[in-house]
Chain A
């Protein structure tokens, strides 16, 4: 019986060795690129995965690239979870088998991965540098002159208000002609909508632990007052969040809107603001570009409008803008042996021709300055035309801009500020404590 046990163990070892050997039988290919794409939000549209894989936009783009570059093959990997993709990129980089190109999130998310990314600063074609927006979001520390870590994905994901035109007309307003541009205007408008029995603003501020949308509006109010530099300085520990009057003012407005009943009262725990908006119970919801089409499908194209948030004060340095920018990026890993080819491919995906192709599958606000609304078939006055018009004046996503521990606590504690359980100052003080924490 002893022998049999030994045999069993022996067999196990042999089995695992054989398996290991089977895995080794891969021959290296000189001109092969592996690219990770997020399952959603970048190159794959809402219904695209219902098509066979070779009919997806990205597969066709790869095919076009391969045809234009004989001898090159590109292997596509779709990541199921964009968040986890960062952890996986880290892990694969450590093991030395990271993909040539990975689709990650811009700003702090890639800065934290700097050691695993090949900077492409000097290798970007000048034409791309001139015509594509958002290189700053991929530049370490958002500071010009630092290494550039990647190529933006061709998508300017803007955050703005979608509104129900029927409700707005019913209370005697016209956002198309006179959108509320000052805070006083905005509050007066909300008051009217509230008195008509509708919820003026719907938001779910704690779904999945992230203050998704309405906070982005408040973040715009914060950043627009003095611009990004003071905020980045606070994040680096050179100044205090608690001393930032613009932050406190923005958070007070954030809280006040809830307290005055201009928002669904369960915003800190709800998850149905989108449903209620589509049911016609909510007048407006803060959302990003990818939601426009679903709203139009449910409410009718003629009933859906878009506006940007009002400006917080007359003295703000940025006006008539909103939160946005290319939140996603493509980076080249340190262990890639085909850096030049990788850059060529990323440039190819950002070319005007490809941007137009991509828009046949899903509506994206372009980050190329030479793509006009007419190129995309957007009639003047339509939602898409307006988004394109705003897209040059965005304030970059705050949650991509602050360092990890700060943004983590920020997200966690915002619902408490919203419902008045925590004051803006207390939150700011906690953020000051988080800086420098691991």
Chain B
């Protein structure tokens, strides 16, 4: 009897917690949307009010037709896509080594790699800019991509190594006995078994690179190379700006990030080891 009450109570509690989390997670989007369809004056008078709201879609129309936000999406996407591709190629191979291979100095090298995460990017950007400018790579997406790869590969290795460590050694040995080579092991054992960390890597670094302002702002100067977040940031500053227009842009810019998350998170499913051993 008591247990049943208890169960109901905890059920209600869980529901309440999830409800509060849901509302607070959705609110910022509601806020951004609300103000993107408001007039400039209404926004300044009260950014939280829904009163007297006239749904004006002008900001969205202008974002697409004049601000050419879709072209900016292309710039951002190019950077995010190749960053992730490189992160996956480099990360999977290196993490396999750290998780499953034995070699001298592994622990020290691992720590050395991880420790490069500990210095804020601000402190390293100037030598990097000079480096890329010597290679004549500034003002190309590749400079940003390589900086991202350098910034995030330690995190990816940390993530994937922790994931790959859980893969049973017997599976790898068995594959090798079947004559599988280095890349076969990676392809048929590591990738399917380590799928969750690979999926997480795609989700995390798509969103992080998509939203990042700092590296592209420093390295991409020409107007036609700017990423979407940099272009949107230029809409607002200390003394003046175009907040409602910026909100419309931010809402649009969040759509690809949401789609990537929604699409890939479905692949984080339970019982992954089962499927792979068969």
4 closest pairs, A vs B, by CB? A39-B234, A40-B237, A1-B182, A95-B133
Interfacial chain B residues near A136, Cβ < 8 Å: none
Residues from chain B with Cβ under 8 Å of A39 in the complex: 233-237
Give a binary string over B75-91; 1 marks a CB under 8 Å from any A CB, 0 the rest: 00000000000000100
Chain A interface main SS type: helix
Chain B min CB distance to A107 (Å): 15
- Please encode chain A, from 18 to 55, with 1 for each CB lying within 8 Å of some chain B CB and 0 for all others: 01101110100000000000111100011101111100
**When A and B form their complex, what is the total count of cross-chain residue pairs whose Cβ atoms lie within 8 Å?**
135
Q: List, in ascending order, chain B residues with CB within 8 A of A294's CB.
A: 40-41, 44
- Is A279 close to B, CB under 8 A? yes
Instruction: List residues of chain B with CB under 8 Å of any chain A CB.
Output: 40-41, 44-47, 62, 66-67, 89, 125-126, 129-130, 133-140, 142, 146, 181-183, 213, 217-218, 221-223, 226, 230-231, 233-242, 245
CA distance A288 to B240 in the complex (A): 10
Q: Give the distance in Å from the alpha carbon of A116 to the alpha carbon of B70 in the complex.
A: 37
How far apart sit A90 and B182, CA to CA, in the bound complex (Å)? Answer: 47
The reply to whether B125 and A91 contact each other, CB–CB distance below 8 Å, is yes
Cβ–Cβ contact B240 & A290, under 8 A: yes
Q: What string of 1s and 0s marks CB contacts (under 8 Å) between A84-120 and chain B?
A: 1001101110111101000000000000000000000
Instruction: Name which of A5, A78, A81 has the most chain B CB atoms within 10 A of its CB.
Output: A81
A370 within 8 A of B: no
Assembly CA distance A263 to B63 (angstroms): 39
Q: In the bound complex, do residue A80 and residue B217 qualify as a contact, i.e. CB atoms below 8 Å apart?
A: yes
Chain A contacts for B242, CB-based, 8 A: 46-47, 49-50
By a CB distance below 8 angstroms, the chain B residues around A51 are: 66
Which of A326-348 touch B at CB < 8 Å? none
- Whether B66 pairs with A40 at a CB distance below 8 angstroms is no
Which B residues are in CB contact (< 8 Å) with A76? 223
The answer to whether B45 touches A19, judged by C-beta atoms less than 8 angstroms apart, is: no
**Chain B: minimal CB distance from A387 (Å):** 14
30 contacts between A and B (CB under 8 A): A1-B181, A16-B146, A19-B140, A19-B142, A20-B136, A23-B139, A23-B140, A39-B233, A39-B236, A40-B236, A41-B240, A45-B240, A46-B40, A50-B245, A80-B217, A80-B231, A81-B213, A81-B217, A90-B126, A92-B221, A94-B130, A95-B130, A95-B133, A96-B133, A274-B44, A290-B239, A291-B239, A291-B240, A297-B40, A298-B41
Q: Check B44–A298 contact: CB distance below 8 A.
A: yes
Is A121 in contact with chain B by the CB < 8 A criterion?
no
Inter-chain contacts of A24 with B (CB < 8 A): 136
Q: Does A77 contact B (CB under 8 A)?
A: yes
Closest to A51 in B: B66
